[in-house]
Amino acid sequence: MITVVDYYVVASILFAIGALGFLLRKNVLVMFMSVELMLNSANLVLVASAKSFDLARGSAFALVSVAVAAAEVGVGLAIIIALFRLKATVDAEEITNLRG
Amino acid sequence: MFQDIALAGPILLPALAALLLLGVELLAGGRRSQGSFLLCALGALVALIYTGYFLANGRTGLAFNGTLNVDNTALLIALIVHFSALLAVLLSRSYLAARRDADAPEYYSLVMAAASGMAMLAAANDLVNVFLGVELMSIPLYVLAAIRRKSARSVEAGLKYLLLGAFASAFLLFGMGLLYGASGSTLLSALPAEIARLETNGGLAAFGVVMFLIGVFFKVAAVPFHMWTPDVYEGSPTPVTAFMATATKAAAFGLLLRFTPVIATGMGPEAGSSMLAVIAVLTMFVGNLGALRQQNLKRLLAYSSIAHAGYMLVGVAAIVAEDGGEIALTGSSAIVFYLGTYAAMNLGAFGVAVVLDRGEGREGVNELKGLCSERPLLAAVMAVFTLALAGVPPTAGFLGKLYVFSCAVQARMYALAVVAVLASVVGLFYYLRLILLMYFTPREEGAEPRLLRTDSFLAVASFVCAVLVLWLGVLPAWFVDFVEATVRG
Amino acid sequence: MLMFAFQQTSAVADHVPLLPYLLIVLGLVAALLTLPLLLGRKTKNAVKSASYECGVAPKGSARQRFSVHFYLVAVLFILFDIEAVFLFPWALNIQGLGLAGFVEAVVFVAVLGLGLGYAWRKGVLDWQ
């Protein structure tokens, strides 16, 4: 029997995979993809909760967050392209102009 | 319907200005930087006056089925946000004119969009609106940080801000999902009661609160989620840094104040306030100790802004400890007072940084050496802001700290109050170093001549900030009464 | 309280008749792929490994850089594609939402239109 808690567990695992990917990977694009995975695990929590309460609000929230994530992707890709044009790299280790 | 739209004015007016700026660029095309500057300044001014009018006339209430709660605190925060936006725009003109590598209409449009998101964040009473507000605030700021497309430092700042900001947003959204799962409601004001009603699901609410707070801590640059701050503040265009440092903090603390009942129910007042107190102490010390060794003025101000977030978190910890009652009101008004004064002094300090700017990576504190003998007025103004940031009487900075720390005493968190005072003593060192450089250190032999970049708008902005900082410090009664009275409603 | 199952046992039962079909399909594909391997004659020469009748012979590495134009169009596509999601719930409830809902949808589309116009003006859509 699949309960809402199982969805929370799956979402937490996805979130952890995303967070680890963000912290361990060095390619900026992959880091960005990891963040998207984290956002989508949050969407899973929202949709599963909405289903368990039989309320549409959580699903609507997930739709909003998908749209917002798309905007974030747009801006993110644009900034990564701008960086690539300047430095010809997407390796986070090589992006070190700012140090203190 | 129209009532709702009128109440949402502080949010909608900057958004309208942002769209208008884009529309003008669409129709007129080319680089109409002067026109877009004036249009943007006008938009920020109208939003400021509108918010002030609503505040003065007590026009508050719920809007859009209770998803926006435009109360006095929200209006005060929106006032601070629009004030910051206006002053940051005034600082921008000479900065952009000296660079010419950023597109002015887009720049101003994005500033207005971010201001709209911040005002929304302050008034949001629904998790959906909180998320929309956070993102409407953050996404334009990512672009603004990277707006100098040909500058590797600016783009790097934008990228770092984007990656860590998106990382934080994921925590925030995950926390919201769990809170929704623990309560079945997205209304912030309904969350505590619903969480208490559905007590059965144990740690879900506490987990949600922690994830939510991690997201907010990233946005206010609290330790250990502050790593991005110095890099982003250094690499971003200076007026954008000023706007980020003041308005983002105001909006995020507005959210945090509205969220305190949820922290107290979700984690329990004890655990919640202990966690906040630990974060506050870490933030104050890491910020102040980090600032001690900075040679770059913008990095120094970045660490200083981390420390100031720590001071304000002391107030939030006190509010959560008591969970409701008198302290919620005094604490809120203390933090709002702090945010207002912090906005004035920080914008002023960044204004001076814009004037002294020599270009990328050369915003050194050495530029301040001997400023007193060459430009006594500029040095005096900078001294006022520095002393205010340090919290020396009779400036507004001292009173802000006094009010916030006395909240900790009121909540019987004596150790926290003592540690906070000690941390501000550490802070004195690097602020006083700036004063020493300006007044008692002669300029090096053979140093490059100063490049003082200023215009009348910048001068007016700095002057307004200096007057506000001194006025609120010497004659604070009216402002304190005003804030207290309005927060109490 | 929260621990109730989503109703999906019946959904699984509904699909049981599909199982033989699935097995037959998989078996057929497997047979058609393995039999030629066992029975067929194997000859290798340049003509046989060339592209058959249609298609162009591959040239150079696949890891080439694309024009930034593709990214711009892709980003725009993501944005406008996802925003359309909001119009579907509105279209389903158009009767109930009435004039206010209609005005809101018009404002929403107008803002998107402004964005599209801006992208157009900036030359993103000029495919040169």
- For the ranges A50-54, B352-356, B380-384, B441-445, the lowest mean pLDDT is seen at B441-445
**Percent of chain B at pLDDT exceeding 90:** 61
Residue C50 has pLDDT above 80, yes or no: no
pLDDT category, C2, cuts 50, 70, 90? Answer: very low
From the DSSP assignment, how many helices (H) and strands (E) are in chain C?
6, 0
C2–B201 C-beta distance less than 8 A: yes
A–C CB contacts, 8 A cutoff, strictly below: 47
pTM of this structure: 0.89
Of C1, C114, C121, nearest to B19 by CB-CB distance is C114
Residues with Cβ < 8 Å from C71, sequence gap 6 or more?
A: A77, A81
Question: Which chains contact B through at least 3 pairs of Cβ atoms less than 8 Å apart?
Answer: A, C
CB-nearest to A65 from B131, B184, B299 is B131
- Answer whether residue A99 is part of any domain: no
Nearest residue of B to residue C117 by CA position? Answer: B26
CB contact at 8 A, B420 and B311? yes
A81 within some domain:
yes
Cβ atoms of residues B389 and B304 within 8 Å: yes
Contact A100 B152 (CB under 8 A): no
pLDDT at B31: 58
Please report the ipTM that was assigned to this predicted complex.
0.95
Question: Phi, psi (5° rounding) for residue B334?
Answer: -65, -45
pLDDT digits (tens, 9 = 90+) for B401-455: 999 999 999 998 999 999 999 999 999 999 999 999 999 888 877 677 776 777 8
| B371 pLDDT more than 90 | no
Residue B26 to residue C111, Cβ atoms within 8 A: no
CA distance B423 to B309: 12
Summarize the confidence of residues B179-208 as an average pLDDT: 87
- For residue A19, give the chain B residue with the closest CA: B167
Return the pLDDT at B479.
75
| Yes or no, beta carbons of C71 and A74 under 8 Å apart | no
Confidence of residue B118 (pLDDT cuts 50, 70, 90): very high
Residues of B within 8 A of A44 (CB-CB) are: 177
Is there a contact between A8 and B204 if contact means CB atoms under 8 Å apart?
Answer: yes
Q: How far is C96 from chain B (nearest CA, A)?
A: 16
Instruction: Note the pLDDT tens digit of each residue in B144-155.
Output: 999 998 888 999
Tell whether the model's pLDDT for residue B114 goes beyond 90: yes
- Check whether B7 has a pLDDT greater than 80: yes
Res A27 pLDDT > 80? yes
Q: What is the pLDDT of residue B198?
A: 83
Structure tokens at B37: 């500057």
What tens digit of pLDDT does each residue of C8-24 get?
A: 455 667 778 889 999 99
Nearest chain B alpha carbon to C104: B1
pLDDT value of position B97: 83
The CATH number of the domain holding residue A75 is 1.10.287.3510
Any domain includes A96: no
The nearest CA of chain A is from the CA of B322 a distance in Å of: 31
Q: Which of A23, A78, A18, C121 is nearest to B159 (CA)?
A: A78
Q: Is the pLDDT of residue B161 over 90?
A: yes
Alpha-carbon distance values, B136 to B11, B76, B176, B360, C6 (Å): 11, 19, 17, 28, 35
pLDDT tens-digit map of A57-94: 899 999 999 999 999 999 999 998 888 888 877 777 77
pLDDT for residue A7 is more than 80 = yes
CA distance B400 to chain A (A): 29
Mutation target for C interface from A73, A75, A80, A84: give the one with most C CBs within 10 A: A73
Which residue range is the domain that position A39 belongs to?
A: 4-87
Name B428's Cβ contacts closer than 8 Å, sequence gap at least 6: B390, B391, B392
Rounded CA-CA distance A65/B419 in Å is 40
Could you give all domains of chain C from N- to C-terminal order, each with its CATH number?
Answer: 67-128 (1.20.58.1610)
Q: Is residue A10 part of a domain?
A: yes
In this prediction, residue C1 carries a pLDDT of 36
The answer to whether residue A94 sits within a structural domain is no
Is A95 inside a domain boundary? no
Asked whether residue C47 carries a pLDDT value surpassing 80, the answer given is: no
**Which residues of B make CB contacts under 8 Å with C?**
1, 19, 22-23, 25-26, 29, 181, 198, 200-201
Task: Dump pLDDT digits (tens) for B250-284.
Answer: 999 999 999 999 999 888 889 999 999 999 999 99
**Cβ–Cβ contact C67 with A under 8 A:** no
Q: Do A39 and B153 touch (CB under 8 A)?
A: no
CB atoms within 10 A of CB B92: 30
Q: Give me the percent of chain B exceeding a pLDDT of 70.
A: 96
pLDDT for residue C5 is more than 50: no
Q: Which residues fall within 8 angstroms of residue B2, CB to CB, at 6 or more apart?
A: none
Mean pLDDT in residue range B70-84: 94
Domain count, chain A: 1
Predicted confidence band at C63 (pLDDT cuts at 50, 70, 90)? confident
The answer to whether C121 contacts B26, with C-beta atoms less than 8 Å apart, is yes
Q: Does the pLDDT of residue B339 top 80, yes or no?
A: yes
Asked, for residue A100, whether it belongs to a domain, the answer is no
Q: Is a pLDDT exceeding 60 seen at residue A100?
A: no
In the predicted model, what is the mean pLDDT of residues B67-78? 92
Q: For the segment C70-93, what is each residue's pLDDT rounded down to a tens digit?
A: 888 888 888 888 888 889 889 998
Buried b (16+ CB within 10 A) or exposed e, A14-35: bbeebbebbeeeeebeebbebb
Mutate one of A33, A52, A75, A83 to test the C interface: name it (highest C CB count within 10 A): A52
Contact pairs from chain B to chain C, CB under 8 Å:
21
Of C1, C114, C121, the CB nearest to B198: C1
